[in-house]
Copies of this chain bind each other. A is one copy, B any other.
């Protein structure tokens, strides 16, 4: 850690910082330039990272040297992590395709969609039983009933089930029914939920918050891993910007950035990012080309009557076409679907 002192800081201020740092078992190196005195802290940076040194009146700025996360970092684990969903791997050479409706609406419609996406080549089924909706008056999901329909669809199609957890009190329920627990964008910094899923071994798909930096996403993954659950899959789903033609702005550069910083696999959700089904196909191709390990795509058998997110859902036939078109793109970057 580097501490830059204000122009007028003198010996006394340096001594104060020396004492504070030494109390923590660390040392300092002082460099007096013409313009500023700079203090380098010697020793384990994690000890001093959360100290409010910038609160001292003599300090102009504090510049950390190391990253604030450990378990998620590629420095900690150089090789890629591959998360195993009991037969379906996320993070290997084969790109995983997760498809299904935004919300589980009925047993019949779910099964129809699941059958369609399975035949087209998807290996995981998405579908919300607990739905975070902006309005209290909108459909909030079927709850446990929806989880049961998902389990039935799994049994009939062999698809792995991924569904969202919104409340720590539902964790056991989700662990029971789901193959992957999704933490939604709005809950990326719901630290209690992160701690809770960290205490199981069930794989977790952690969506990036709509205004979260990549660093914050990694810190939230660190929450889960610090509890002992290393089965974490990250998901880029678009960030909030000033552009309002698309629902969010899909940040595909997050993929190579995360690959550089972390060993965890990255899934992309183009449907939520763009918000309109017409844009899903090109952005899916782009996600693959940028290095995504998986895709999460909304499919509905009757988008015009969907209870949520119909505007961004593909019809099963369009999804089948997408699956067909993306194979060559995957091959072009040395991957398989």
By a beta-carbon cutoff of 8 Å, the part of chain A in contact with chain B is 2, 4, 7, 20, 29, 31, 33-36, 38, 40, 42, 44-46, 49-56, 63, 65-66, 68-69, 75, 132-139, 166-169, 186-187, 189-192, 195, 210-211, 213-216, 219, 222-223, 226-227, 239-246, 249-257, 260, 273-274, 276-279, 282-283, 285-291, 303-311, 313, 328-329, 331-333
A135 partner residues in chain B, CB cutoff 8 A: 49-50, 68-69, 219, 222
A223 contacts B288, CB within 8 Å? no
When the two chains form the complex, which single residue of B29, B255, B276 contacts A282, counting CB atoms closer than 8 Å?
B255
Give complex CA distance A124, B254 in Å.
29
Report A298 CB to chain B, min CB distance, Å: 11
Report A62 CB to chain B, min CB distance, Å: 9
Copies, count: 4
A250 partner residues in chain B, CB cutoff 8 A: 251-253
B245 contacts A139, CB within 8 Å? no
A42 partner residues in chain B, CB cutoff 8 A: 31, 33
Q: A242-B211, A304-B55 are in contact. Are A252 and B139 (CB under 8 A)?
A: no
If A38-B40, A68-B135, A328-B331 are given as contacts, then 14 extra A-B residue pairs at C-beta distance below 8 Å, sorted by A number, are A40-B40, A50-B308, A52-B308, A52-B311, A55-B311, A68-B134, A133-B191, A134-B189, A136-B222, A215-B245, A239-B241, A246-B257, A256-B282, A329-B333
A310's closest neighbor in chain B, by CB? B52
A65 contacts B213, CB within 8 Å? no
A307 partner residues in chain B, CB cutoff 8 A: 50
8 contacts between A and B (CB under 8 A): A136-B223, A137-B226, A190-B190, A239-B241, A250-B251, A252-B283, A255-B282, A286-B287
A63's closest neighbor in chain B, by CB? B63
Give complex CA distance A210, B216 in Å.
13
Report A237 CB to chain B, min CB distance, Å: 13
